[in-house]
Amino acid sequence: MASHLKQQEQYSMAVPTKILVATDLTARADRPFARAKLLADIWNAARTLLFVSSPKTEVDIAKVEAQLLRNYGADAEGCNLAINYGKPPQVIAETAEQLDSELIVVGAARHNNISDFFLGTAVDHLVHHARSPVLIVKERPRANYDRILVATDFSEFSAHALRTALDFFPAAKIELVHAYHVAYEAWLKSDGIADEMRSDAEKELQDFMTGLNLPESDASRVTPHLVEGNLHQSVHNMLDSGDFDLLVLGTHGRGGFVMATIGSRASEMMGWSPVDVLMVRKPA
């Protein structure tokens, strides 16, 4: 196991070739570690394990390597090891940029350590500052991400999130969900308003899909889905059905979608999601 940061060669591939995995060195971090191992095997990607320590504590590299091997066994062999000091969200984002990592993988266990750093305001820092998508692993990996839910508000940010899901998981079936709202006052004024607003949403969804200009192989894997009501609640209901393996969210968008994916709603959405969550920030 290498004990230093190692730059990898750039590859012109759609799937990530370099994965950064944040770990707190405990056995309970096995879920993000195992998911990263599964993805790395599929993508033939290199993995770097990142341990973030307090600036006041000097880390014994040999002990860290021994602990990783003890907790993760032979699967830890071949991984690069990075040890940095500071606040985890900031260090993770900076390390990912330094290594040109194309995916950051973190855990979702509720403990007072790196495993729960994404809860609350810390996720804002990581998502806003990390150039790479952030995968929050909640479930023990037992299969590939074959069924994916992508939320859209028809913005370029959600379009980028969809394209990322298509690129990362070329065999997955993807359901694209958009929620449109019919005001209560509209129901009172006219029975036809609701139908008209749905028709407008259908037209906008069609225009959005056309504008993506996806190759047929990708377009055939996407099933657009319109729901009336609140996007946040609609996503919750769909995930609760147990039909999906992964939720993909863009980190910016129009109107309320911003607050539905980051900021005050981030920990809420990722907290109740029963599946892993991939947060995708559109590059500048």
Q: Are 279 and 133 contacting, i.e. CB atoms less than 8 angstroms apart?
A: yes
Both tokens of residue 128? 């806003």
pLDDT in tens, the chain (284 residues): 443 333 333 333 489 999 999 988 776 688 899 999 999 999 999 999 999 888 877 888 888 888 888 888 888 888 999 999 998 888 999 999 999 999 999 886 554 444 444 444 566 677 778 889 999 888 889 889 999 999 888 888 889 999 999 999 999 999 999 887 766 555 555 667 777 778 888 899 999 999 999 999 999 999 998 888 777 788 888 998 888 999 998 876 555 555 445 444 545 666 678 899 998 887 76
Q: What is the pLDDT of residue 262?
A: 46
251 lies in the same domain as 209:
yes
Query: 165 and 131, same structural domain?
Result: no
**How is residue 147 annotated by DSSP?**
E
Q: Are residues 132 and 231 in the same domain?
A: no
Does residue 233 lie within any of the structural domains? yes
In sequence order, the 6+-apart residues with CB closer than 8 A to the CB of 140 are 30, 31, 34
Contacts of 167 (CB under 8 A, 6+ apart): 14, 15
> Residue 99's domain is classified under what CATH number?
3.40.50.620
Angstrom CA distances, 144 to 202, 220, 267, stand at 31, 19, 25
Last residue of a domain, one of 86, 108, 137: 137
- What's the CA gap between 26 and 116, in Å, rounded? 13
Residue 107 sits in the same domain as residue 228: no
Measured CA to CA, the distance from residue 254 to residue 257 in angstroms comes to 6
Residue 81 within a domain? yes
| CA proximity to 231, closest of 271, 193, 258, 207 | 258
Model confidence, pTM: 0.85
Is residue 182 included in any domain, yes or no?
yes
Show the tokens assigned to 65: 């390597």
Q: Is 4 exposed, middle or buried (0-12, 13-18, 19+ CB in 10 A)?
A: exposed
Question: ∠ CA 20-21-24 to the nearest 5 degrees?
Answer: 140
Do 274 and 152 sit in the same domain of this protein?
yes
What is the full DSSP assignment across 242-284?
T--SEEEEES--STTHHHHHSGGGHHHHHHH-SSEEEEEPPP-
Residue 6 has what pLDDT? 34
pLDDT number for residue 269: 65
Mind giving me the DSSP string for 110-134? -SSSGGGTTTTTHHHHHHHH-SS-E
Domain total in the chain: 2
Distance CA 107, CA 140 (A): 10
DSSP per residue, 48-66: EEEEEE-TTS---HHHHHH
Taking the alpha carbons at both ends of the chain, their separation in whole angstroms is: 35
Residues 183 and 102 in one domain: no
Give the relative orientation of helices 61-72 and 30-43 as an angle to the nearest 10 degrees. 80
Range of the domain at 185: 147-280
Can you give the pLDDT at residue 235?
85
Instruction: Note whether 182 and 228 are within 8 A (CB).
Output: yes
Taking Cα atoms as reference points, which of 276, 281, 283 lies closest to residue 135?
276
CA 167 to centroid of chain Cα atoms: 13
Same structural domain, 273 and 221: yes
